Amino acid sequence: MKNGCRFFALMLALGLAAGCGTGREGDMVDLVLVNGKVWTGDPARPWAEAVAARDGRIIAVGSTAEMKKLSPSGAKLVDLGGSLVLPGFIDSHTHFLAGGFALKSIQLRDAGSRERFVARIAAKARELGPGRWILNGDWDHQAFDPVELPRRDWIDAVTPENPVCVNRLDGHMVLVNSLALELAGVTKDTPAPPGGEIVKDPRTGEPTGILKDTAMDLVYAKVPEPSFAEKLEAAEASVRHAAENGVTSVHEMADASSFEVFQELARLGRLTTRVHAYVPITEVETLARLKMKSPFGGLYLKLAGLKAFMDGSLGSATAYFFEPYADDPSTSGLLHGQMFPEGIMERRILEADRAGLQIAVHAIGDKANSLLLDMVEKAVTANGPRDRRWRVEHAQHLRPADIARFGRLGLVASVQPYHAIDDGRWAEGKIGAERIKTTYAFESLRRAGATLAFGSDWTVAPLSPILGIYAAVTRRTLDGKNPDGWLPEEKVSVEEAVRAYTVNGAWIEFAEGAKGCIMPGKLADLVVLDRDIFTVPPEGIAGARVRMTVFDGRIIYGKD
């Protein structure tokens, strides 16, 4: 479906979703949770023992004795035995529908060698049979021993009849085989599109099979569109996975085509994750023409605003820096294709601001972030003060002077803590010891006045907020080489980390009146953990498990 058609399908879906329930009218069950340790997120009453909910809303918070008195006959009473209760987690950056497809696709993240990488692709080709595409994968060449980018000649012999397009875990680089290049018409003479790179063998000039950023679209354009039934199956897998991880709301960084899928789940009563979705900034003229403001929709499905890209990623060497990469002085990274022609991003940001739309902009390298802050400053100066709640997605590598600008401009730092303990294994080798000092600067950003909102970037990282909290609090890298934390001065407290997954996540989507904390009148979206992450040693947080997830006052995961 063309983008314009997709967009108007989205408008229809949102119009329906704004007034729809989840297909369970009259089926709400009163729920009372007692004998727990309840972190409310409410500064006036941060802790309680029990919560009562009716018709999808919290009706009371207090002591176990008080809630038992309020409990009507027939209410579901759950004794938590001292378990920790938190507001339902809000993951502020996901690729949610894509995650459902990835759950059932080839898994290459932990293929730590060329041999295992090739063996898994060969096995998937045998499983699928001739002609079927091998997609997704989430490979990480930094985990290979030795570290090296994969090549098409690794896999051509085991995939002669299966086109392959498997992505690096950051989504900014793919490996394709010779058959996929042939289908896409990519040869040694094919020029790279603006904002992309076709990696070529320095000896022969032939494509190696690695495509970066916008060059990936040359092959993606040939991948068959999944059927609606396949999309619906993927979406259901995603919401199940979210429930297992205590996630009751997600911010979806997608395009308009996913909306009809989530709207159908809502109609069927099976959408148990609230979806707050962004569409590409290329749609700004359409939204402005419709005089749409952010956000638009209902409690289950909303159009959040516009998603834009400044650059690529560190692992793919496409994040955009002022200075060249330490391990490859021939490049300072790439501006994204959305930055071309020159000046268009600034014009779109100004137009979005005039229209009253929220923007969420991907910026990773220090120059990409600095250029974005310049654009935001121009928009604020041109259009005056208002409640924007604009977001910088990732904000990974910053110059010290730019950290302070986040607070002055009232920006949200929408960051992913797990990336820090993952990238921390190898990031210094790519950009050197000096630039690394202000990498993943969570605490510095918070102190500067930025609002911290945490997410996973799933499937780039695991969806689990527990692992995200662990990463933010400990900053222990995955290789075990930083037991006291990588750049430990950027650790945040457990409470700040939980707040970034709950209260702040609600605020940045203009939903603080409906969710994000445990108070009367709020949505009864809750998560119960099997241990108190506020009191266990920080290294023990990663071992916590979701005991129960409550959505709309209904237990959707776990046992009482």
Per-residue pLDDT tens listing for the chain (560 residues):
344 444 444 443 444 344 333 334 334 448 999 999 999 999 999 999 999 999 999 999 999 999 998 877 778 999 999 999 999 999 999 999 999 999 999 999 999 999 999 999 999 999 999 999 999 999 999 999 899 999 999 999 999 999 999 999 999 999 999 999 999 999 999 999 999 999 999 999 999 999 999 999 999 999 999 999 999 999 999 999 999 999 999 999 987 778 899 999 999 999 999 999 999 999 999 999 999 899 999 999 999 999 999 999 999 999 999 999 999 999 999 999 999 999 999 999 999 999 999 999 999 999 999 999 999 999 999 999 999 999 999 999 999 999 999 999 999 999 999 999 999 999 999 999 999 999 999 999 999 999 999 999 999 999 999 999 999 999 999 999 999 999 999 999 999 999 999 999 999 999 999 999 999 999 999 999 999 999 999 999 999 999 999 999 999 999 65
Distance (Å, whole) CA 333 – CA 283: 26
Backbone dihedral angles phi then psi of residue 107, each to the nearest 5 degrees = -110, 110
Is the separation of the CB atoms in 519 and 218 below 8 Å? no
Distance (Å, whole) CA 490 – CA 400: 13
Read off the tokens for 520: 């009367």
Is the separation of the CB atoms in 553 and 29 below 8 Å? yes
Burial class (CB in 10 A: 0-12, 13-18, 19+), 535: exposed
Q: Which domain holds residue 205?
A: 101-220
pLDDT single digits (tens) 159-173? 999 999 999 999 999
Residue 37: inside a domain, yes or no? Answer: no
Count up the domains in the chain and report the number: 1
Distance (Å, whole) CA 452 – CA 455: 10
Residue 499: inside a domain, yes or no? Answer: no
Element spanning 263, H or E: helix 259-268
Query: Helix-strand-coil percent breakdown of the chain, rounded to 5?
Result: 35, 25, 40
Distance (Å, whole) CA 344 – CA 338: 8
Return the pLDDT at 555: 96
Residue 187: inside a domain, yes or no? Answer: yes
For residue 242, the one-letter residue type is: A
Residue 337: C-alpha distances to residues 194, 217, 346 (Å): 5, 11, 14
Distance (Å, whole) CA 504 – CA 524: 17
The alpha-helical segments, DSSP class H, found in 384-464 are 400-408, 417-423, 427-435, 442-447
Is the separation of the CB atoms in 485 and 443 below 8 Å? no
What number of residues does the chain have?
560
Read off the tokens for 222: 């040939």
Predicted TM-score (pTM) of the model is: 0.92
Residue 76: inside a domain, yes or no? Answer: no
Backbone dihedral angles phi then psi of residue 97, each to the nearest 5 degrees = -65, -40
Residue 470 CA from chain centroid, whole number:
17
Q: Kindly write down the DSSP assignment for every residue of 296-348, as one continuous string.
A: EE-SSEEEEEEEEESB--TTTT-S--SS-BTTBTT----B-GGG-STTHHHHH
For residue 177, the one-letter residue type is: N
Residue 50: inside a domain, yes or no? Answer: no
Strand, helix or coil for residue 171: coil
Residue 152: inside a domain, yes or no? Answer: yes
Return the pLDDT at 560: 58
Place of tokens 């998560």: 527
Domain with 202 in it: what CATH number? 3.10.310.70
Angle at 452 between CA 449 and CA 455, to 5 degrees: 165
> Quick one: DSSP state of residue 556?
E
Residue 383: inside a domain, yes or no? Answer: no
Is the separation of the CB atoms in 435 and 323 below 8 Å? yes
Return the closest-CA partner of residue 165 out of 122, 97, 223. Answer: 223
Residue 496: C-alpha distances to residues 63, 336, 442, 551 (Å): 25, 32, 10, 23
Strand, helix or coil for residue 427: helix
Return the closest-CA partner of residue 292 out of 348, 233, 354. Answer: 354
Cis ω before 459 (30° cut-off from 0)? yes
Distance (Å, whole) CA 361 – CA 344: 14
Distance (Å, whole) CA 322 – CA 299: 42
Helices (H) and strands (E) in the chain, counts: 19, 25
Residue 357: inside a domain, yes or no? Answer: no
Burial track 39-50 (b if 16+ CB lie within 10 A, e otherwise): bbbbeeeeebbb
Return the pLDDT at 255: 78
